Amino acid sequence: MFAGIGIVVLLVMVFGGYIIAGGNIGVILHALPIEMTIIGGAAIGATLAGNSAAELKALAGGLAKVFKGPQYGKQDFLDTIFLVSKLMKMLRVDGPVAVEPHIEDPKSSAIFAEYPKLLKDDTLVHLICDTLRLVVVSSGTLDPRAVEDVMDNSIKTHHHHALAPANNLQTLADALPALGIVAAVLGVVKTMASIDQPPAILGAMIGSALVGTFLGVLLSYGFAGPFANRAKQVIEADSAIYQVVKQIIIASLHGHPLPLVIEAARSGIQHSNQPAFADVFDGMRGR
- 221-252: per-residue pLDDT in tens? 999 999 999 999 999 999 999 999 999 999 99
- Residue 125 half-sphere exposure toward CB, CA atoms < 13 A: 19
Q: Would you say residue 286 has pLDDT above 60?
A: no
Distance (Å, whole) CA 162 – CA 125: 16
pLDDT at 130: 94
Model confidence pLDDT, tens digit, residues 168-191: 999 999 999 999 999 999 988 988
Residue 266's pLDDT band (boundaries 50, 70, 90)?
confident
Instruction: Pick 142 or 166 by higher pLDDT.
Output: 166
Q: What is the pLDDT of residue 203?
A: 81
> Distance between CA atoms of 159 and 129, rounded to whole angstroms?
18
Task: Place 151 in a pLDDT band, splitting at 50, 70 and 90.
Answer: very high
Asked whether the predicted pLDDT for residue 21 surpasses 80, the reply is yes
DSSP secondary structure of 171-233: HHHHHHHHHHHHHHHHHHHHHHTTTTS-HHHHHHHHHHHHHHHHHHHHIIIIIIHHHHHHHHH
- Would the pLDDT of 213 be above 60? yes
**What DSSP designation does 272 have?**
T
pLDDT higher than 60, residue 140? yes
CA distances from 158 to 19, 74, 128, 238, 243 (A): 47, 22, 14, 12, 12
On average, the pLDDT of the chain sits at 91
Query: What does the radius of gyration of the chain's CA atoms come to, in whole angstroms?
Result: 27
Decide if pLDDT at 95 tops 80: yes
Let me know the angle formed at the C-alpha of 189 by 188 and 191, rounded to the nearest 5 degrees: 60
Alpha helices, DSSP H, located in 21-143: 25-49, 53-68, 74-93, 96-104, 110-113, 116-119, 122-137
pLDDT band at residue 154 using 50, 70 and 90 as cut-offs: very high
pLDDT for position 113: 95
Q: In the structure, what pLDDT confidence band is assigned to residue 287 with cuts at 50, 70 and 90?
A: low
Q: Sort 227 into a burial class: Cβ within 10 Å, 0-12 / 13-18 / 19+.
A: buried
C-alpha–C-alpha distance, residues 5 and 11, integer Å: 10
pLDDT at 137: 86
What's the CA gap between 285 and 68, in Å, rounded?
34
